[in-house]
A and B are shown apart, each in its own frame.
Chain A
Amino acid sequence: MRTLLTLFAVAGIAFSQPAYKQLKYPKLGEVKIPDIETFTLPNGIKVFLLENHNLPLINGIALVRTGTLLEPADKTGVHVIAAGTMRTGGTKAKTGDQLDEQLEAIAAGVESSIDETLASVSFNCLKENIDEVLGVFFDVLTAPEFRQNKIDLLKMQYRSAIGRRYDDAGEVNNAEFSDTVYGKDTPFGRSIEYETLDRIQREDLLAFHKRYYFPANVRLAIQGDFDKAAMRARLEQIFANWTVQQPPVPEFPKVTHVAKPGIYVGDKKEVNQTSFSVGHLGGLLSDKDYPALEVLSDILGGSFDSRLFRKVRTEMGLAYSVGAGWGAGYLNPGLFRVSGSTKSESTVLTFQTIQQEINRIRTELVTDQELNDAKEKVVNSFVFNFDRPSKTLSRLFRYGYYGYPKDFLFTYQKALAAVTKEDILRVAKQYIQPEKFVYVAITNTDQLKTPLTDLKLPITQLELKVKEPKKVVSAADPASLAKGKAILARMQQAMGGVEKLAEIKDVVMSNKAELGPMKVNQKVQLLLPDKVRQEQELPFGKVIAAFDGKSGFLVAPGAPGPQPMPAPVLKQVGDELFATLVTLLQSDTMAGRTVNAIGDNRIEITAGGGEAAKLELDPATGLPAKLIVEAMGPQGKMEVERQFSDWKDVNGVKFPFKTVILQGGKAAGTTISETITTNTGVSIEEIMKK
């Protein structure tokens, strides 16, 4: 008990100090609002200058009215690549690498970037290097060269990043929630994909720069250790000859998508925690109710003392992080979102707790204390909006860019001070709409103790897989297409004819497969076109894979019962089904498929989902001799080739009883079919039996 004594007994010693409550505070010292000079250069650039002599540094930023929202859909990413290579691709006089050497030698920086509704070029330097750095800044802003090597590099880096898109559960949660609410087919929710990236060329980047980077579309702010008059003279001189003109830029698109409410689940087998989001669209900063919504979201989930934090983290210990925010944008609605992470098994409980707290704030007045604390917080911390002069500059600069009044911060603070409990209840009822909520859970579905169906909401599976680049498809013209059809027709004929092929409803096979050193007994039941069950006797036990056309399950030794098929396996199964001979041979009658000759005896068959396979005809027999597909291996893409032989007749259709498999040109295995039967009457229930 000794430690208990030290733990608790010291409290007995009287504290001679006044309790925090009795503290009297002096009046707060005066807030200095810095003096910002604004003017317009002869060429039309609006300039904001702020002298700040605290440190011998100068930095500046040019805002350009454009953004990723203005990208064409088929070239999503073009503005990102453009902004990224504006600086790295160098200027007329110097390559990007030369600029790196020049700037880093004097510890200076010039950078270019872009987001949804603005682009920027910025610089920072020690004051003695201002002339040199302004020169580089001007060149990058007005005449970037976009050298091809840096475009290639950045495009390749984005390709790599796309491949890593689904690795981090927290990031996936953020992106999926935002894209789902804004709409994945809209400028707000689109992603850069391999295909859109491939279409981006240097001419697009030059065109982007020409269209948007002109004086009337640029505003410039500079702050730091300089003399205002001297800086103004310097700018007038530097920018004197930059006078290009362009028509005004188009308006940014508006948010119009209405998201389907319900739960969106992304399965990730390697996490033991759920990253979640709940919410819908937020609003604009200029909404008259924005201050009340700010107070509301602060009370709900904005701090260490918010309702959600208290309930979910402090009281229930369910989460490390949980919070809520009313997202408000300058031009377009932000997101209202409750988000956090919790161990997989408490996912449903956490969602239910969030629902209860949302319900409470929509039906009961908040307490006086909650309201006062929230307001005091804003009032008392208001001074931190001014603790550095640069904050005032960047605020005014942004307000101007987005067309907000200069005194926006002050009117906001005033409105916030006037918010009442009744206002909060009113805006909670009006703006927070649980029936519209999108729930996102990135989780290991095997560990959800309580099923998500308990929430009684529609459930949508999120496919956490990258859209594969369209396979490189050979050029097609009417002649090659006609030839393709002819080659396919010959194969159909050799196998038994179109009618016989069309009669096949199911195929059941017993195989002995040799995969490297491993001998495997396989039973495959195929219910055409897209349902399959495969049972394999492996050295370590029996493995069952079953797929009903949409989803499937796996049974493996050691696993506690059937496990849902993870996304990569689903993709594999889909690819295998596409490459099933009987269906592939009927591609000429299937919607969305193309059959194209790519050689005297070769055809390529492609489908709308990006699937592709090549078939080679054996000129002696007319039968397909080889089937070639591309698959993802551990080292990236590789070719998988199946060589067919030992053809035997099964109910009037010829089937290959021997298949040799090559991967990347190397022998990978052989399958010998002991029996093949067709139209056995196998049912979907048998296929999916657990």
Chain B
Amino acid sequence: MSFRNLTCLGLLAPVLLCAQSLADFEKRVTEFTLKNGMHFLVMERHDSPTVAFHAHVNVGAANDPANASSTAHMFEHMIGKGTASLGSKNFAMEQKALAAVEEAYDKLEEERRKERRADKTQIERLEAGLKKAIEEADKYVEQNAFTREIEKSGGVGFNASTGLDTTNYFYSLPSNRTELWFALQSEWFRQPVFREFYKERDVVREERRMRVESSAQGKLIEALLTTAFAAHPYRNFIGWASDIENLRAKGAAEFHKTYYVPANITISIVGDVNTAQVKQWAEKYFGPIPAGPLPPRLYTTEPPQNGEKRVTVDTEAQPFIAIAYHRPEGTHPDDPAIAVLDGILSGGRTGKLNRELVEEKKLALGADTGATFPSGKYPNLFIVFMVPNAGKTVEDLEKAWDELIEKMKKEPIDEAAVKRVKTKLRAGFIAGLDSNSGLARQMAEAHVALGSWKKVFTELEELEKVTSADVKRVLNTYLTKKNRTVAYSIQVKPEGK
């Protein structure tokens, strides 16, 4: 650590304050791990009587079981459904009713498994039985009790998100109600109740319609990912319609048992709290959750790509193009150089894409790159997304992009641009420290993805070491035709007279 701090202080002073802010922040962060393995990061900040909570579970869509894509995502939706003590009119009765739902569903599935030999009348009867069982269980539901309790306690920003690698649950409370978060979140982690599971499944199905099936961009991204990844589960964009329509509560329970073990969860709390008190509550509320083995590792590795891949999506919408190149995982030493390359290409108005494709050649209405897509834990993609101007085609843009990249490979990388990108990334980082919730999220993510919350700060130092030679190297290594997937979204007018 001391070496890194020195780097920060001594060499980078012209730009600013990283050492000062790191030291200042370090002093205010406490981390501890409960006996069951659950990890806590706490930062006291008393500017206002509010506190932000961020619970980060180290599981995501990449861990979805085969045949059951969107399982991880269902949890994001289930948190609103509550717990034993919150969300039920009579939990004992509701439990029985929920068990009956699963039994009825098992019987139906048993018949359906006979496939062509299945008895149609029998299936109809069993479907009616399942419907009845669900209606019975619904009688005990006290709807949205969990979210209501949070909202009326002054909670803001209550939400959850599911990525390929992580699932996050977060909101902020007035700081005098900190204990409420402990009570609610601990009970849910320990024992989420999968009530109204099959209705929420329809909502997730609806979400897929919105994000993919009714969206030209969504269709393009799904086609891109499924083409770029032949094997790795990063190909799973939002789950398949047919999987979603058949998800089971008992499958979710199995998933919970495997992945929602305390040692797989990191909690980050930032705001007007007393660290000693937080420790006490952590022990009291989360301590009793039994420890469990860490979940299995994901072994599937994307095999090497042997040539350029291409895919086209026909839609009624105006055209887009996306090109994606395989790149290594976020902890790879090349990561900072790839981030700088990303900035040189598309950071701000001076980014090469804006200068050349948008302003000079007027080919693109907009163009952007992303260094890490769709997620960073495993080898992923460097992506460029471009929107042609009226009268220009995706082919025009692909050609212009290729020229731009090949020219960059031949010419020296602009030192001023490298410096500008580093400065901007640094300033962006400082601005991000302003909000409790943003900081809570960053710290939890860094702890899990990079091994320590301190990486939030030290990553900047890695960035500072990037040279123009590094940028050139990653450009030559990864941005090659053989290593990429090109995806077109093409406008096809409906046939008519």
Contact = CB atoms under 8 A, between A and B. Distances in A.
A23 B389 contact: no
B155 interface: yes
A81 to B, nearest CB: 16
A565 B176 contact: no
A269 B496 contact: no
Interface string B298-321: 000000000000000001111000
Interface in B173-191: 174-177, 179-180, 183-184, 186-187, 190-191
A472 interface: no
A167 B427 contact: no
B206 A343 contact: yes
Interface in A297-322: 303-305, 309-310, 313-321
Interface footprint category on A: 35 or more
Contacts of B365: 157, 160-161, 164
B389 A157 contact: yes
B180 A273 contact: no
A100 B209 contact: no
A25 interface: yes
Contacts of B144: 304-305, 309-310, 314
Nearest to B47: A54
B180 A23 contact: yes
B147 A305 contact: yes
A6 interface: yes
A30 to B, nearest CB: 7
Counting chain A CB atoms within 10 Å of each CB, the highest count among B47, B359, B390 belongs to B390
B48 A383 contact: yes
A573 to B, nearest CB: 6
A305 B148 contact: yes
Given A20-B183, A387-B48, A104 B350 contact: yes
A384 B156 contact: yes
Contacts of A106: 423
Interface residues of B, number: 105
Interface centre among A16, A128, A343 (most CB of B within 10 A): A343
Contacts of A319: 203, 206
A6 B210 contact: no
A19 B187 CA distance: 10
B213 A272 contact: yes
Contacts of A343: 206, 209
A127 to B, nearest CB: 9
Contacts, number: 280
A373 B315 CA distance: 45
A387 B50 CA distance: 7
Interface in B133-159: 143-144, 147-149, 151-156, 158
B65 interface: no
Given A25-B176, A314-B144, A273 B209 contact: yes
A315 B348 contact: no
B85 interface: yes
A84 B176 CA distance: 45
A383 B495 contact: no
Nearest to A554: B496
A319 B214 CA distance: 14
Contact of A16 (B184, B200, B288, B496): B288
Of A32, A163, A167, which is in contact with the most chain B CB atoms at under 10 Å from its CB? A167
B343 to A, nearest CB: 10
A57 interface: yes
Contacts of A32: 47-48
A89 to B, nearest CB: 12
Contacts of B253: 3-4, 6-7
A271 B214 contact: yes
Interface stretch (B94-102, B111-119, B332-340, B374-382): B94-102
A667 interface: no
A247 to B, nearest CB: 36
A104 B174 contact: no
Contacts of A315: 143, 199
Contacts of B257: 3, 6
Given A100-B348, A100-B349, A384-B50, A568 B494 contact: yes
A17 B183 contact: yes
Contacts of A568: 493-494, 496
A104 B204 CA distance: 42
Interface stretch (A233-241, A374-382, A675-683): A374-382
Q: Return the 8 tightest CB-CB contacts between A and B, nearest first.
A: A380-B154, A569-B496, A107-B427, A317-B202, A29-B49, A271-B214, A167-B317, A545-B497
Given A303-B151, A388-B48, 15 more contacts: A4-B253, A6-B253, A28-B174, A32-B48, A55-B433, A56-B16, A57-B431, A159-B389, A160-B365, A273-B214, A373-B151, A380-B152, A573-B496, A635-B391, A636-B391
Interface of A: 3-4, 6-8, 10-11, 15-20, 23, 25-32, 54-57, 88, 96-97, 100-101, 104-107, 124, 126, 128, 153, 156-157, 159-161, 163-164, 167-170, 268-273, 303-305, 309-310, 313-321, 341-343, 372-373, 376-377, 379-384, 386-388, 534, 543, 545, 547, 554, 556, 565-566, 568-569, 572-573, 576, 634-637
